[in-house]
Amino acid sequence: MIVGLGSVSTLSAGREQGVFYQPKMKFKRILLKLSGESLMGEQGYGIDSRRLESYARQIKEAVEAGVEVAIVIGGGNIFRGLSGASKGFDRVKGDQMGMLATVINSLALSSALEAIGQPAGVLTAIGMFPIGEPYSKWKAIDMLRQGKVAIISGGTGNPYFTTDTGSALRAIETEADVMLKGTRVDGVYTADPEKDPSAEKFDTISYDEILGRNLKVMDLTATALCKENSMPIYVFNMDVEGNLAKMLAGENVGTFVHP
C-alpha cells in the first residue's frame, strides 16, 4: 500500500470551498503513460473531447501542486502497428504510422492543456519540426523545471517497440520518481477483470511476480527495463476524474509495482 506523506484532500475539493489546498505530494517528478484507447471514450475511434478535457484538468492540478509532469500517450485510438501488420501492412511502416498517431494525440492534449492555461510542449522522437521539437532528455527536463508539461511522442522512434517501452525509457531518462500507467482498469489483477469477474486485485506486487505470473501489465521489454533500472510503476484508472490527485497525495487507488 502506498503511504501518504500528507493530507489526502484533493485540489478540487479545496477549490469548491474557495480555498486552495496543496497537499504534500508523494512524488516530485512523474512520467504519466496515457492509453490511446482511453482517449476515444465511448466513441469507438478518435478523440473524445470530454475525456481529453478531463485529462487536462487532472494534469494541470498536479502541476499546480508542485509535481513535474512528463507524458507519453499511446496511439491505439487511431492506429496500432501490430493490428496493421495483421492486415497486410509492412510491420515497419505500420509501426511508423502508429508513431504518427501518438503525435496526433500529443498535439491534442497539448492544445487542451494550453486552453486551460497550463503551458505544455510536444517533443518528438523523430524529426517533425515545427510540429514538435526533437526529443532530448535535457530539453524535457528543462521544460519540467519551468513548470511546463513535457509531452513526449513518437514512442522510441523505432519500430518493434511499444509505447509502454517508450514510456519506461522516457521515465528512466527524465529521472522520474515513478512511472504512472493511467488505464481504464484500477490496478493489476490476477486475470483480466473485464473478462474474469473472479480476478483479484493486488495493492502491491513485485516485478518478479509480474514476470513469474505472466501478468499483462506492460510488455516484457518495458517491464524488464523498469526492473533493471529500479523504476517503480503505479497502475491506476485515469478515467475516474480525481484519481491522479488522490494517488499523488498518497491514497491507494491502484497497484504499486516495486523492485
Residue 234: strand pairing partners: 180, 256
Instruction: Identify whether the C-beta of residue 7 lies closer than 8 Å to the C-beta of residue 24.
Output: yes
The model's confidence at residue 244, banded by pLDDT at 50, 70 and 90, is: very high
pLDDT at position 8 is: 36
pLDDT of residue 41: 86
Tell me which amino acid residue 129 is: F
Degrees to nearest 5, angle at CA 120 with 17 and 109? 80
- Residue 98, helix vs strand vs coil: helix
Please say if the pLDDT value at position 210 is more than 80.
yes
Compute the residue count for the chain: 259
The amino acid at 75: G
The beta strands (E) that lie in the chain are given as 29-34, 68-73, 120-124, 133-134, 149-153, 178-183, 188-189, 201-202, 204-206, 233-237, 254-258
Interval 104-163: pLDDT, tens: 999 999 999 999 999 999 999 999 999 999 999 999 999 999 999 999 999 999 999 999
Q: Encode pLDDT of 60-111 as tens digits.
A: 999 999 999 999 999 999 987 666 667 777 989 989 999 999 999 999 999 9
Q: What pTM value is reported for the model?
A: 0.87
Domain ranges of the chain: 11-15+22-258
In CATH, the number for domain 11-15+22-258 is 3.40.1160.10
- What are 118's three cell numbers? 497550463
Strand partners, 33: 72, 181
Alpha-helical regions (H) of 4-90: 11-16, 36-39, 49-64, 81-86
CB 192 within 8 A of CB 246: no
